[in-house]
Structure formats: structure tokens, C-alpha cells
Amino acid sequence: MSPTIRLLGSCCIFFALGAACDEPASGQCPAEVPTRLWASPPDKVPELNAHLADVFEAADTVYFRWGRDPFEWGLYASDLCGDEVVRLDPDEALVDRFLMSRTADFGLVVFGYRRDDAAVVQLDRLEVAGIDVPVEVGRFVGEKLAGQAYPGVHAVYFTSTREPDGEQLPAAGVGSRPLTLWRLGSQPGDLLERQPGEFVHVDFTDPFIDQPLGAGPSLTLTDAGELHLYDLQGVEVAAIDQVRYAQLAPGGSRAVWQQLGDGEVEATFLRDLATGIDRELTANTHTAVSWGRVDSEQRETGTWHWVDDDFLGLVGPERTLVAVHDAAGATLDVPAHTRVLAASPHGFWLELSSDADETVAALWNPRDDELFEWYRQPSKYRLVRLPMIEGDEWHFLLDDQDNYNRGSWWRIDRTTGAWTKVLPALGVPFYELADGRFVTALENSDSLFARLAVVEPGTDHDTTIAEDIVSQFAYVPEYGVYYLDAVGDGLGLWFAPIPEAAAGARSLRAPGLRSGGRSLTAAPRDPSGLTSSAGAAPR
């Protein structure tokens, strides 16, 4: 283990679970009024404040990025009382980019990458008490980072390439740049280890979408078409030659693979990993344009959407399902649709044909062939966000006309499809409080900044907590909200308690100070902000 600095403030034990505050240097903790916990140094004032979107909490610690511009951002950590604020990359030349991953041994881990010499620096294990001293764990000699830091049970993995300007395509024999796989163990003193071989595609399970951690890659594919598939323990469960492209089912029991052929029409197969039996599926007749080979807009062509491990659908041009099969290989009749939005354990999410001024979406369950129309709205709401599903409850954020980060909050009746408005305004991110209210980022002024507020269901009331903040914020139930002030003299990290529920609207703004306007357009991301995730899937 690298040396660790213990931060013991006068009130809170940094990173300790259930931190207790006695007589904090910053006053009462948690504070009873909005309080700045950390002030931006004069030479660190951001030039593009609205781009500072990373504030999150882990293990009783608030993390945030700050700096003049994205290339000079530093990653900071603060205890919940603000008595200790530490920069995790103390040397500004130490790293240029931050990466987050996870191991079963230590939980979330933050790394830095330095472009000049392709060095990887382990900055901190976020869920381990204390702040780690940064330690360089290796370099991609002769290569550059390609991708993210990928999670494993006892290790973190990286991919690099000797052709950093080359095109990355997940298929064999199509001119994709070569990838090298590296392993970093989680034991003290472990360094990057280069793994044998070169690949065009390496895939891992994703714990950020609730998949279990694997011991290593779930599959590797070489440019010659050699496919290797692995279980969660890292044991190879299948090796197949002459493979153009492959995907592992989300549960890991099956894999779909496409056979190398003439590059136009190529056979596809479903492999049962327990028996080794292949069942032939519908051929990919669009191989020549699959995976974004010709047009990046067609990058989903040739890929498959899974409903658990039991059903899978082949995506064709314009994001339509050209064929759907069950686990036995049988072909199902696909409802008429204009594009597939996603797939989940609930089924295939489809956009249906409609008038030009209307958008219609439905959930198709291939198990019983039910087609449930749940969305019909004016086409000005072009983005069809998927609903949040918890048991039998469906909720949906209907986006504003020109903004997919703010809208109204609705409850959808799963039986009738009827919509009931719960909140007239809600933004992303948002958190539901124990009393049923929501704390969220709403509209602010004619800028890209946000207004942090608490909104009350069933009313038009909201209570402003702060204005001109960065949209991303952290909510800690026992304390309150942590956010970055982006405008004015109070730049830095702030804390504010959650206002008590009120019968009428209350505002901390001076009357007439602002009157709405444009709001944020940043896409939703995972809570850390250090790894990317596209959109929001049902759960």
C-alpha cells in the first residue's frame, strides 16, 4: 500500500464512516445556512465555469474538479465539514486526465493519466480511509491510452494503442487500430503488467449499470478473428476462430458472434456457453456499413440488443431491429417501428411510426408479445428518455422543448398508459428526499448555470437554495447539498442545508433579480462524473 496521509480535522475524521463533528474550524457542522467551505484561489478562477460539472460524494467525502480550464483542472477532496480540503494531484504537471474505476478489494479508485510520457498515476482509493500519496504505477511505453480504466475483482485494466490517431472499431478485419491490454493488481507495490497479444476489441462488465464485477475482460477479439470469452472468475469458457464481431449476453450465459465472410452478407450464430452449441441466426446483410465503418451515425448497425439472456435483436441501418430471436434461435415477428431506443429486462423500447408532428414510443415484451404504448407527445420533444421503473411504478421526465436536462415529472399507469403530473418542473440531477420533496437543478438566468432548489409534489412551490451554480451537485441525506458556485465573488465549494417544507413558495433571491431563461444542456452522467454513461436506462 502506498503511504497514506490521515486527515484528522478538529471535527470530522476524514473518510471515516459516520463522521462526527465536535468543534469544527468552519463553525457548526453541518452549517445551518449556506456556507462556503473552500474558496477558489485567485489564479485558479475558471475561464469556462459552466464546464465544471463534477461534484460527487463517496465515503463521507466530497470530490470536485476545479481549475482555469479543462486541461488544468485539479481534483479536490473535502470532508463533509470543509475542515480539510486536499488536492489529489498536488503537482499541476502530474496528470492531464482523470479516470475512475472499481475493484472488489477497495471500491472506487481514481487514476490520473499524463499524456507526455503515457504514465498512469494512482491518485486515491476513494472508499479507503485517508488520502493516498499519488504513485506512478507504470507507463504505456511507445503507446497512448485508448479508452478508460476498466474494473475487475482484484485488478484494474487499461487499453493502449500504438496508433492513437487510428479508428477504433469493435470488429476484426475492418482496419481498426490495435489495442494492448494492461493489468494493474490491487496489492501493495503492484505495477502495470502488459498482457500478451494485440486486440481490436476488449470488453468488460460494467458495475455502473449494476453488472457484477468480473476478474478480467469478458471477451477479447484479435484482428485475425480469434475470439476468447471469459466468465466472471476469469476462466476461458469459449474460443472461436473466424469471428468478425461478438457480444456477450448481459448475464454471461450466451454470446452472439458473426463469422468472417465476404464483408457484405455474413452469418451470425448464438453460442450457448454451457453446452458449446451454436444456433444460426439471421445473417447480417449490412456488414459493409456496420459498426460505423463508413458513417459514424451507423455505429449501432450490426450490433445486438439483449433482453436478459433470452432474446436478442439485430440492429440494422437507421437503428431498426431487422430480426429478433429467442434463446433457441427461433425468429420472432417484430412489431412495425421506426427505430429501437434500447433494450432492458423489460423488453425492447421502440419508437413507432407516427405523424410528423408527433412522437410515439412503446415497450415490446417478446415473452408474451405485448406492445405497450407508453409515450405519445408532440415531436418538439425529440429526445425520448426512457422511464425510471421501480417495481410497478413508472416515472418519466418529460423534457422541455429545447432542453433535455430539465422538464416535468410524471407518473405513468402501467395498465392504462395514463399520465399524471407529479411535478411541473424537475432538472437533472435530482434526489428525492425522505418527505417526498425533490432537490434538483432548475433554470437560472440567460446562461448555462443552474438554480438549486427544493420542489414540492402536487404544488407549484419551490424553494431556492442557491443560484449561478454548476449543474452537478452532491446530496448527503444527513447533511444537505454540496455545490460549486460558478459566478461572482463567492467562487468555490459550498454547502447548504435542505430548507424545511413550507406551505407557500419561498425564495432566497432578491425580488426581480432573475426571470428564467435558458437552462442546462449537459447530458446525464454517472454520479462521479469521471466516467461517461449515455442516457438513462430503465431499472
In angstroms, the CA 158 to CA 151 distance is 9
> Quick check: 450 pLDDT over 90?
no
> Quick check: 403 pLDDT over 80?
no
CA distances to 150, 307, 372 from 415, rounded to whole Å, are: 40, 21, 9
> pLDDT tens, 490-523?
999 999 999 988 654 443 333 222 222 222 222 2
- 226, exposed or middle or buried, with CB in 10 Å at 0-12, 13-18, 19+? middle
Sign of CA dihedral 234, 236, 242, 247: negative
- pLDDT at position 502 is 66
Sign of CA dihedral 451, 454, 460, 466: negative
> Quick check: 117 pLDDT over 80?
yes
Quote the DSSP letter at residue 128: S
- pLDDT at position 387 is 93
> Quick check: 186 pLDDT over 80?
yes
Read out DSSP for 138-188? EE-TT-EEEEEEEPBSSEEEEEEES-TTS---SSTTS-PPPBEEEEEESST
Q: Which residues of 495-505 are buried (b: 16+ CB within 10 A; e: fewer)?
A: bbebbeeeeee
CA distances to 172, 284, 296, 306 from 167, rounded to whole Å, are: 13, 22, 11, 26
- pLDDT at position 183 is 97
Quote the DSSP letter at residue 32: S
Q: How confident is the model over 309-315, as a mean pLDDT?
A: 97
Closest-CA residue to 62 (of 45, 82, 48, 44): 82
3 state SS of 292: helix
Contact 303, 315 (CB under 8 A): yes
Q: How confident is the model over 436-464, as a mean pLDDT?
A: 84
Contact 331, 272 (CB under 8 A): no
Q: How confident is the model over 106-129, as a mean pLDDT?
A: 93
Q: How far apart are the first and last CA of the chain?
A: 37
More confident site: 456 or 19? 456
> Quick check: 537 pLDDT over 90?
no
> Quick check: 392 pLDDT over 90?
no
- 357, exposed or middle or buried, with CB in 10 Å at 0-12, 13-18, 19+? exposed
- pLDDT at position 210 is 74
- Torsions phi, psi for 481 (to 5 deg): -115, 145
Degrees, nearest 5: CA angle 271-275-277 = 40
> Quick check: 530 pLDDT over 50?
no
Long-range contacts at 510-518 (CB < 8 A, ≥ 24 apart): 514/444, 514/445, 514/451, 514/467, 516/443, 516/445, 517/443, 517/444, 517/445, 517/446, 517/447, 518/402, 518/403, 518/443, 518/446, 518/447, 518/448
What cell was used for 57?
460524494
- pLDDT at position 348 is 98
- Stretch among 22-26, 169-173, 185-189 having the lowest mean pLDDT: 22-26
More confident site: 342 or 508? 342
Mean pLDDT of the chain: 84
pTM of the predicted model as reported, rounded to 2 decimal places: 0.85
Residue 51's pLDDT band (boundaries 50, 70, 90)?
A: low
Q: How confident is the model over 447-460, as a mean pLDDT?
A: 84
Which range of 175-184, 373-382, 403-412, 530-539 scores highest in mean pLDDT? It is: 175-184
- Torsions phi, psi for 324 (to 5 deg): -130, 135
- pLDDT at position 332 is 98
What cell was used for 106?
477497495
- Stretch among 67-81, 136-150, 180-194, 345-359 having the lowest mean pLDDT: 67-81
- pLDDT at position 53 is 62
Q: How confident is the model over 166-192, as a mean pLDDT?
A: 95
Say which amino acid occupies 78: S
Q: What is the largest CA-CA distance in the chain?
A: 73
> Quick check: 531 pLDDT over 60?
no
Q: How confident is the model over 294-321, as a mean pLDDT?
A: 96
Beta bridge partners of 161: 144
- Stretch among 313-327, 361-375, 497-511 having the lowest mean pLDDT: 497-511
Residue 515 has a CB neighbour count (10 Å cut-off) of 8
In angstroms, the CA 505 to CA 454 distance is 10
In angstroms, the CA 527 to CA 384 distance is 21
> pLDDT tens, 63-86?
998 887 777 788 999 999 999 999
Q: How confident is the model over 45-60, as a mean pLDDT?
A: 75
More confident site: 383 or 10? 383
- pLDDT at position 20 is 30
Closest-CA residue to 101 (of 182, 197, 171, 16): 182
In angstroms, the CA 434 to CA 422 distance is 16
Detail the DSSP E strand segments found in 46-161. 55-58, 61-66, 74-79, 85-87, 97-103, 107-114, 119-125, 131-132, 135-139, 144-150, 155-161
**Which distant-in-sequence residues (6+ apart) come within 8 Å of 113 by Cβ?**
95, 96, 97, 98, 99, 119, 120, 121, 145
| 534 Cα distance to chain centroid | 6
> Quick check: 203 pLDDT over 50?
yes
CA distances to 156, 173, 182, 216, 259 from 224, rounded to whole Å, are: 26, 7, 20, 22, 12
- pLDDT at position 92 is 79
> Quick check: 449 pLDDT over 90?
no
Residue 533's pLDDT band (boundaries 50, 70, 90)?
A: very low
In angstroms, the CA 526 to CA 56 distance is 10
What cell was used for 24?
469544527
Q: How confident is the model over 281-286, as a mean pLDDT?
A: 98
